[in-house]
Amino acid sequence: MSDDLFLSSDSARAAVPLTHAQTAVFDEPLALERSGELPSVTVVYETYGKLNADRSNAVLICHALSGDSHVAAHNPADTPGWWDIAVGPGKCIDTDRYFVLCPNVLGGCRGTTGPGSVNPATGRPWGQDFPTITVGDIVNVQRLLVERLGISRLLAVIGGSMGGHQALGWATRHSESVRGAIAVATSPRLTSQALAFDVVGRNAILRDANFRGGQYYDGGPIPAVGLAIARMLGHVTYLSREAMAQKFGANRLQPRQVATEFEKKFSVGSYLAYQGDKFVERFDANSYLALSMAMDLFDLGDTPEKLAASFAASRCRWLVLSFTSDWLFPPDQSRQMVHALLAGNKPVSYCNIDSSCGHDAFLLTEDLDRYGRLIGAFLENLNERGAAKAEAAKDDEDAGAQSPTSIFHPQRLDYERIVELLPESASVLDLGCGSGSLLKLLKDRGHAPLLGVELDERKILACVRRGLDVVQADLNEGLGQFADGQFDCVILSQTLQAVRDVERVLADMVRVGRRCVVSFPNFGYYKLRDMLYHDGRAPESPGVLHYKWYNSPNIRFLTVADFEDFCRDQGYTVHRRVCLDTEARAEVYDDPNRKADLAIFVVSR
Amino acid sequence: MSDDLFLSSDSARAAVPLTHAQTAVFDEPLALERSGELPSVTVVYETYGKLNADRSNAVLICHALSGDSHVAAHNPADTPGWWDIAVGPGKCIDTDRYFVLCPNVLGGCRGTTGPGSVNPATGRPWGQDFPTITVGDIVNVQRLLVERLGISRLLAVIGGSMGGHQALGWATRHSESVRGAIAVATSPRLTSQALAFDVVGRNAILRDANFRGGQYYDGGPIPAVGLAIARMLGHVTYLSREAMAQKFGANRLQPRQVATEFEKKFSVGSYLAYQGDKFVERFDANSYLALSMAMDLFDLGDTPEKLAASFAASRCRWLVLSFTSDWLFPPDQSRQMVHALLAGNKPVSYCNIDSSCGHDAFLLTEDLDRYGRLIGAFLENLNERGAAKAEAAKDDEDAGAQSPTSIFHPQRLDYERIVELLPESASVLDLGCGSGSLLKLLKDRGHAPLLGVELDERKILACVRRGLDVVQADLNEGLGQFADGQFDCVILSQTLQAVRDVERVLADMVRVGRRCVVSFPNFGYYKLRDMLYHDGRAPESPGVLHYKWYNSPNIRFLTVADFEDFCRDQGYTVHRRVCLDTEARAEVYDDPNRKADLAIFVVSR
């Protein structure tokens, strides 16, 4: 086993000297959320890049449970930071453009006030007398620091895991101070399973014979075994099952020879022993207890109603990212937050990044190309200047990014007709929005709010680059995240023929939109009829029907008449029907079921 | 929180007096697999039901890590057993019919020789001097007991989790002594993730200040904290995330008041504390170490080749069951075993039971209706008498169990034609076998071996009841589990039109079968052509095409000519083509692409 297996995640870092750290001291007492106060607070933090003249380019990065202020190296000679891959000149959080700020959290053990700090009332370390702190308290201390730096509004707050909880704290309760929130691999509250792991870890520390009520700062033995056990357990939950199989499957019985008193019969055992022992060297057990408890108490609600209430006051833009193999902060929890934001008409983009790396994915290079580019594109579009620049840069590359269901190249005739059918400035939900071409047209015409739904990760990135809001979802799972009548208009453009659960999708569309626009290729078009009737073969044609019967993404074949029957049977009102002969580029009025190859319907319930 | 939340799983049982336990002593030294020997072995076991005259009705039940010989109550006044729901008169493991035998495992702490037994060489308990034992050693001790009871061949061996490892041990290495093996929620070896959890648990015990090198039997303190931590951790892994959310989500901050020194701030914490404390009362830490290590060392191989070698000698029938939400012994591991058995042409049935209960599912009532009935049906068919009886009982209920893709009621004309097309006694793989009607026809005609592939759990049960071998799989994921030319014939009967990945499925079929029979509804049938051509509507007809365009399971529409083109393009040889007019019940020779509504092709590559 090579060293890099042992060092491939943030969590494996040893303690590093914080040579570039700065210190801010706040001498006023800090009232705590749950009860009590701290007589004063010291904050250790690091900064990268330059604050611009109007102080509008500050990005706050919130670290996770075991992180610290050293998010990145300050120069090539500096010790590595925990997110070097994402933070630096020219990187996705570009320190040539943004002023990056990363403070050590309240309750931590890397300089900011925590249980290892001296309690002025007793003259000895707080230990277990350190009051119970919350994510809200952590955020409040960060706000003191941001104010002292003269920043009235952050461009963005970014955090993953417990850092994501802090980002959520900012954006739900202090969103006037934040333009954009980026919540990565996080949750509105821990799952009961994740909470249970924390409980087991804390019990290992609290019941360690050397814990001594938390007063182990006397140079005597410390609760090293308990803390190491908690850390080992944490490690298992940060990795996915696939990632562990890859790391430890083949060489199961070949442990690395590490100096440890823990079991090292198996390769995974030697890894855990190493991680546990290393962690004890750099982290304080009381901080672990305080911060894991703050995380466990964090709770934006466990029902859609409570979540909606938590997000109601938010006024910032959102980017929510999860990872498919993250089982500690599972994607469904990110979706719960996205749904709550959508229910409140908040601007949000969401992507569940396909990854095998588990919860640690956001700290690893494997998927950086995807989450990093989404973060970078979202940041670029948070200020108007950036948005314009991004537009210009991306217009070229979008030229070739038409949806694969397009009939018309280079121009989507149906888009033009759909746009004409919409009331001026109507709000629009575009289902299967692709890379956002139609939404871009609508944005330029002043429609708002606009939201896209898309499944393909690359197309989501294209939308975010265009400054559009887009959430990843599978239409076949319905539109339960949207409220009745939430949009003036819901569009399903040339996607119906690929939908599995047609009744459900249409029923949800007419529920969510006051008007719905549905376009689809007409299987009753005479050329298609001829192919089956005269040639005895499954019809094919250019455009969306250019596939073979055996490899087509299209699974529903319907005629204009079929759709009219369907609307009648379902009790939907048809307001408009536009039938097109796209070869002739003309609308068809006579016998459209035979003569049109594309139909656009405007319906409602 | 009610008591039943604390007692809903086996693992929550307190120690019970084993009033019906019997004891067998083996005075000969027992050589151990890894090294060394035990000078003698005592086995504590319980039995239920009566051994029949020819000693052919014995069912061995193997318990999991924390179980014991008390698998079920012996009478209504007896204390409950750990699998009362499955074992007893009239239950799925019917003690009116079977002689059930359940011994406490070697290394355990409920009477059978283990680390708490006295080492005759020292006169004190073995403790950590107890030799490293394996699942193979556990099985060898069970074999001694079975022999002493005069049983030369078990009807079945059944086990879940670590009990499943024992069942695997019997059936891979001593299958001459077993007619049927039922492996539930188990694996060929632990995942690296599951192994990691075991390592953490063992470290908690080994580094407990009271462990004292394992010699804590002196009445002084015992490693209670370490054992409880290990148990808490185990508990989290036995439950699914959904199950934990259900148990502890709503009342997160309302712990039950239990007397414990562990953290009980959260409801899940009070549960874990309770489970941890209770376990310490009934289980020995050295046994926990010995048995979890035996489980961790169990390894039938981590590659298809090694697994195939492990299963090569097996001569018994197999039933493999997994549970969708089991993340400790995930379903993929059961599939690995099933694939290895299939690769060796072993008779196996497999079902992945849709459950939200996690690894513990096999001990809970929630899914008993499904796994219990499968176990019961499999047992019934292990002896000829039982099979005949089962057939008679089920014939009626199968009458209505035709596949929903049937065209013909009550008689499947295509089945008759397909049967005629097969060489006498050819081996057959039936893809999408439904409840086994075609396989039953083939079985009655002497075809062997026969295997069905099906997705629907209920249909799998119907097949198992008929004594057929059937494995659950999704055709769209391909047939990678089968070897080239493994079957004389592979059948895809009226399923092609519902297959997403047609090219892959067909390519796999011609790889696995020397001949392939494919039947499908002909979309070129004149009545269907007329509907589109004259009526301008998506065609519908009786049988498999009786759905509407928007709710049909059929997603591929092809004509006889289309399929011929496909075979030509793929380079497949068409050996026979039978086209039928099923209304006229006649074969069509003239212009079948127009006049036949059903086509049957025999192809190969």
β-pairing, B41-48 with B37-38? unpaired
pLDDT at A220 over 70: yes
Phi, psi of B88, deg, nearest 5 = 160, 175
d(CA B199, CA A252): 12
Backbone phi, psi, residue A105, to 5°? -75, 155
Q: Over 60: is that where the pLDDT of B13 sits?
A: no
Dump pLDDT digits (tens) for B461-501.
Answer: 999 999 999 999 999 999 999 999 999 999 999 999 999 99
Q: Looking at the predicted structure, is the pLDDT value of residue B117 above 80?
A: yes
C-alpha to C-alpha distances, A371 to A209, A241, A465, nearest whole angstrom: 43, 21, 13
Of A330, A532, A549, the CB nearest to B529: A532
Closest CA to A310 of A169, A126, A146: A169
pLDDT computed for residue A391 by the predictor? 53
* pLDDT of A390 strictly over 80: no
A218: pLDDT strictly greater than 50: yes
Partner-chain contact B532 A537, CB within 8 Å: no
Q: How confident is the model at residue B585 (pLDDT cuts 50, 70, 90)?
A: confident
Q: What's the rounded mean pLDDT across residues A486-502?
A: 95
- Check: CB of residue A143 under 8 Å from CB of residue A151: no
DSSP assignment of A140-199 equals HHHHHHHHHTT-SSEEEEEEETHHHHHHHHHHHH-GGGEEEEEEES--SB--HHHHHHHH
User: Exposed, middle or buried by CB within 10 Å (0-12, 13-18, 19+), for A543?
Assistant: middle
Length of chain A: 605
pLDDT of residue A123: 95
Q: Output the CA angle A369-A444-A337, nearest 5 degrees.
A: 50
- Please write the tens of the pLDDT for every residue from A57-109: 999 999 999 999 999 999 999 999 999 999 999 999 999 999 999 999 999 99
**CATH hierarchy code of domain B3-380:** 3.40.50.1820
Q: With bands split at pLDDT 50, 70 and 90, how would you rate the model's confidence at A12?
A: very low
| Inter-chain touch A532–B550, beta carbons under 8 Å | no
The most confident of the ranges A148-162, A474-488, B540-554 is: A148-162
Rounded to the nearest 5°, which phi and psi values hold at A372?
-65, -40
What value does the mean pLDDT take over residues A298-311?
A: 96
Q: Quote the pLDDT of residue A545.
A: 79
- pLDDT confidence band for A565 (50 / 70 / 90): very high
The total number of residues shown for chain B amounts to 605
Q: In the prediction, which pLDDT does B545 show? A: 79
Tell me the C-alpha to C-alpha distance, in Å, between residue A155 and each of A82, A101, A384, B290.
22, 11, 12, 57
pLDDT of residue B402: 42
Low-confidence winner among A253-267, A360-374, B381-395 (lowest mean pLDDT): B381-395
Sorting pLDDT into bands at 50, 70 and 90, what band is A385?
low
CATH topology of domain B399-604: Rossmann fold (3.40.50)
Q: Does A219 touch chain B (CB under 8 A)?
A: no
Supply the mean pLDDT for chain A.
Answer: 92
Please give the distance of CA A427 from its chain centroid, rounded to a whole number.
24
- Calpha distance B427→B422 (Å, rounded): 9
**What is the predicted pLDDT for the residue at A4?**
45
Q: Which of A70, A235, A359, A447 is catalytic?
A: A359
Backbone conformation region of residue B212, classed left if phi is above 0, alpha if psi is from -120 to 50, else beta: left
pLDDT tens for each residue of B536-545? 999 988 777 7
Please tell me the predicted confidence (pLDDT) of residue B126: 97
Tell me what the mean pLDDT of segment B273-290 comes to.
Answer: 97
B94, B326, B360, B430: the active-site residue: B326
pLDDT in tens, A29-45: 999 999 899 999 999 99
Residue B356 has pLDDT above 90, yes or no: yes
pLDDT the model gives residue A416: 85
Q: Give the whole-number percent of chain A exceeding pLDDT 90.
A: 88
Task: Determine contact: A399 vs chain B, CB below 8 A.
Answer: no
**pLDDT at residue number B396:** 40
pLDDT for B15 equals: 62
Number of neighbours of residue B343 by Cβ within 10 angstroms:
18
B386: pLDDT strictly greater than 80: no
- Assign B385 a pLDDT band (cuts: 50, 70, 90): low
Between chains, do A561 and B536 touch, taking CB under 8 Å as contact? yes
Q: Inter-axis angle of helices B368-380 and B457-465, to 10 degrees?
A: 20
- On chain A, the residues whose CB falls within 8 A of the CB of B204 are 204, 229
User: By the CB < 8 Å criterion, does B565 face chain A?
Assistant: yes
Quick check: A524 and B503 CB within 8 A? no
β-partners of residue A472 are: A454
Nearest residue of chain B to residue A269 (CA atoms):
B199
Q: Considering chain B, what percentage of its residues have pLDDT values greater than 70?
A: 93
Q: Is B302 a catalytic residue?
A: no
Checking if the pLDDT of A10 tops 90, the result is: no
Q: B272, A536: Cβ pair inside 8 Å?
A: no
**Confidence bin at A15 (pLDDT 50/70/90):** low
Note if A326 is an active site residue: yes
Cβ of B236 within 8 Å of Cβ of A296? The answer is no
| Count of CB pairs separated by less than 8 Å, A with B | 214
State the Cα–Cα distance between residues A112 and B318, nearest whole angstrom: 61
Q: Does A247 reach chain B within 8 Å, measured CB to CB?
A: yes
pLDDT, average across residues A185-203? 98
Please report the pLDDT score of residue B389 as a whole number: 53
Q: Which ipTM was obtained for this model?
A: 0.93
**Which of A187, A192, A594 would best serve as a mutation to test chain B binding (most B beta carbons within 10 A)?**
A192
Look at B274-288, B479-493, B541-555 and tell me which has the smallest mean pLDDT.
B541-555
CB contact under 8 A, A192 and B593: no
Q: What's residue A411's pLDDT?
A: 53
Q: Is the fold of A3-380 the same as that of A398-604?
A: yes
pLDDT band at A384 (very low <50, low <70, confident <90, very high): low
Going by pLDDT thresholds of 50, 70 and 90, the confidence category of residue B391 is: low
Tally Cβ neighbours within 10 Å of residue B285.
28
CB A318 within 8 A of CB A348: yes
Is the Cβ pair B272, A558 closer than 8 Å? no
Q: Quickly state the pLDDT bin for B204 (edges 50, 70, 90).
A: very high
Query: What pLDDT is recorded for position A588?
Result: 96
Q: In the 3-class helix/strand/coil scheme, how is B108-143 assigned residue by residue?
A: CCCCCCCCCCEECCCCEECHHHCCCCCHHHHHHHHH
Instruction: Please give the pLDDT value at position B404.
Output: 37
Distance CA B216, CA B202 (A): 16
Which residue of A196, A558, A560 is in closest CB contact with B268?
Answer: A196
* Residue B344 pLDDT > 50: yes
The answer to whether A354 is a known catalytic residue is no
Residues with Cβ < 8 Å from B476, sequence gap 6 or more?
Answer: B499, B500, B501, B504, B505
Q: What is the pLDDT of residues A358-371, one digit of tens each?
A: 999 999 999 999 99
Amino acid B12: pLDDT: 41
Please tell me the class of the A398-604 domain: alpha beta
Chain A interface disruption, residue of B279, B359, B532, most A CBs within 10 A: B532
Backbone angles phi, psi at A320, to 5 degrees: -115, 130
Give the pLDDT mean for B34-59.
97
Residue among A10, A68, A326, A508 flagged as catalytic: A326
* pLDDT surpassing 80 at residue A11: no
The domain segmentation of chain A, as residue ranges, is: 3-380, 398-604
pLDDT at B570 over 80: yes
List, for residues B400-412, the tens digit of each pLDDT value: 444 433 343 345 6
